[in-house]
Structure 1
Amino acid sequence: MDEHGKLTVRRLALWGIPLSFGVMGLKMLAWWVTGSVALLSDGLESTVNVVAAFIAFFVIRYAQKPADETHQFGHHKAEYMSAVVEGVLIVVAALLIVREAIGALGNPQVLDAPVLGLAINVAATVINAVWAAILIRAGRKYRSPALTADGHHINSDVITSVGVLVGLVLVVATGYAILDPILAILVSLNILYQGWKVISRSIAGLMDQAVDPDEEAAIKKAIATNAEGSLGVHDLKTRSAGAATFVDFHLVVPAAMAVGDAHAICDRLEDAIRAAHPGARIAIHVEPESEKAHGVRVKVKEKSK
């Protein structure tokens, strides 16, 4: 990620703090004017957004610190920690909602000022929908797990809000107040599922998961097309760490090849891989043809005559 990308990610993380406070305020206001347990559940989920926005801002700043003597590969994985914490907070919010909803099942309340409350919640939902789209797009573009996780969580908040709005319209239309706490429980189940997805994606990153198949295919194509002069490539390995992707493989060359010629092939391969996968950190082990190959092989395309 270049300096422009880093600055963009930090700015988005900073703007997430006041926006999350604003949305939470609107949702809690909607609950206050209606007394709806479902709207309260929606508002409680937004409190997680506030905490997550603060965590994401500070963690992203830390993750962008350059490598140092004690963290020689950088601080990229710190973003996964932010995403894990956010996932845990989502689960906690869901459990709080369940507690409130179960308490209301035995004594469902008729909603006060439902039209005003729903209008306020619609405004908060629209803000969240736009912001989630911005975060997810930027998170993917700049390979920021923290921004992506925040965007997906806010997007799940939008889905939750839409479900709540539809359910409360039914409550008002039918007069069945019991639908309100039932709806809140259904909302909590969806929030639990979203929390699990955020946690599982983050743990995969912490465990050095390989890049996805499409990215790996692009890397293999770049190698196969630009490894002319070598005898092949094997033992290709990849791993993702926040905004960074690490690529490691063995390059087999003729035993009599000069070091300078082998180095030129490595330079060509590094440029090609970075063109296909910007920001990749590449380590190439050059070995003579007498070495026994092992691991994943990448066939070199022969130059057409």
Structure 2
Amino acid sequence: MNGNTVRRLALWGIPLSLGVMGLKLVAWWVTGSVALLSDGLESSVNVVAAVVAFVAISYAAKPADRTHPFGHHKAEYLSAVLEGVLIVVAALLIVVEAVPAVLDPKPLDAPVMGLAINVLAGVVNAVWAVVLIRAGRRHRSPALAADGQHILSDVVTSAGVLVGLLAAIATGYAVLDPLLAVAVALHILYQGWKVIAHSVDGLMDHAVEPAEAEAIKAAIAAHADGSLGVHDLKTRRAGAATFVDFHLVVPAAMPVGEAHDICDRLEDAIRIVQSGAQIAIHVEPDTEKAHGERVRVAPSG
């Protein structure tokens, strides 16, 4: 059900981003403001990013198959990396438009109407960004969260443009319009870098958060009775999926059936604290030398 919710939100992002881009381009057409044009250019990137996010989320939701036995979850990270790159491209486009205007600033036409239209677009974007970021965190969707962060950077752009244009109108200094566009572009570059860095980290099989790791260890420690210990615990996150891997030490003479029962009990306990986790347990006799991180288990009996 979570997958359906994420895909539905990603799909809704396409018409919403188109509508916001249309409003911003109308605001630019009315005023001739280079800052509003820059804002509209960033929104055009939002449209592409929304389409990419929807495609990636749909692909990531595909079940595991013969050629991808661990699933397709990392497709979301690829989407998020691309979205970060698009954010950077949007910032560079803004600079390209703003620099000539700094050298030759022009007064604005119909500024009140243009600003009103841009405020409306900004409000729509702000609400949608909050929805996407919260849903991305709740459903552990990197693509959805990145899309929300991208749109949030667009909201900051719109707010900055509004302040700059009001200052330009109040003071009569038309050069404030393009100067503000450059300042906003620098902020967008920073946001794009953060999205790329977070997504690349996910592609590198980042471990679960410390609090989650402690909950997994506690579940193992409380339900590993009958075994002699657990070691070499590893976790990794791939989109919405969590992978847990560890070695379970049992007496060499323990029947396979008993060892299997312990594994079943551990898997159930781990999935209570980490829903849907994919777990791999390597059972080994106590004659093997332990390695990796050890997890203290409750004493038997």
TM-score (norm 1): 0.95
Residue 124 of structure 1 corresponds to: 121
Residue 296 of structure 1 is matched in structure 2 by 293
C-alpha separation in 2, matches of 1:218 and 1:22: 44
Q: Does 1:24 align with 2:21?
A: yes
Equivalence for 1:92: 89
Match of 2:229 in 1: 232
Contact 1:231-1:289 within 8 A present in 2 as well: yes
Q: 2:173 corresponds to which residue?
A: 176
* Superposition map of 1:166-245 within 5 A: 166-245=163-242
Shift of 1:61: 1.1
Amino acid across the alignment from 2:76: E
Deviation at 1:90, TM superposition (A): 1.0
Gapped regions of structure 2 (runs ≥ 5)? none
Within the candidate set 75, 78, 94, 1:78 is matched to: 75
State the shift of 1:294 in Å: 0.9
Q: How many angstroms does 1:49 deviate by?
A: 0.7
Deviation at 1:255, TM superposition (A): 2.1
Q: Matched residues, percent identical?
A: 74
Matched, 1:101 2:114: no
Q: Secondary structure at the match of 2:282?
A: strand
Q: Spell out, residue by residue over 1:160-187, the C-alpha distance to the aligned partner (whole angstroms, 9 max, x if none).
A: 2112212221111111111111100011
The alpha carbon displacement at 1:301 in A equals: 3.0
Equivalent residue for 1:162? 159
CA apart distance, 1:302: 3.8
Letter of the 2:275 partner, please give it.
Answer: P
Q: Secondary structure at the match of 2:195?
A: helix
1:140 corresponds, among 137, 152, 155, to: 137
RMSD: 1.3
Residue in structure 1 matching 2:64, options 64, 67, 91: 67
User: How many residue pairs were aligned?
Assistant: 301
State the shift of 1:216 in Å. Answer: 1.4
Structure 1 unaligned residues grouped into runs of 5+: none
Distance 2:139 2:164 in 1: 37
AA of the residue aligned to 1:6? G
| Residue 197 (structure 1) shift | 0.9
CA contact (8 A) 1:41 1:187 kept: no
Structure 1 counterpart of 2:188, one-letter code: I
Is the 1:80–1:202 contact (alpha carbons within 8 Å) kept by the matching residues of 2? yes
Displacement of 1:72 in angstroms is 1.1
CA distance in 2, matches of 1:127, 1:274: 38
**TM-score (normalised: structure 2):** 0.97
Cα shift at 1:254: 2.0
**After the TM superposition, which parts of structure 1 deviate over 6 Å for at least 4 consecutive aligned residues?**
none
Cα deviation, 1:101-156, whole Å, max 9, x if unaligned, reads 11101111111111111111111111111111111111112111111110111111
Structure 2 Cα separation of the partners of residues 156 and 227 of structure 1: 47
Letter of the aligned partner of 2:165 in structure 1?
L
Q: Deviations over 1:195-221 (max 9, x none)?
A: 111111111111111112122122112
SS of residue matched to 2:125: helix
Rounded Cα–Cα distance in structure 1 between residues aligned with 2:197 and 2:166 = 34
* 1:264 and 2:255 matched: no
Secondary structure of 2:107 counterpart: coil
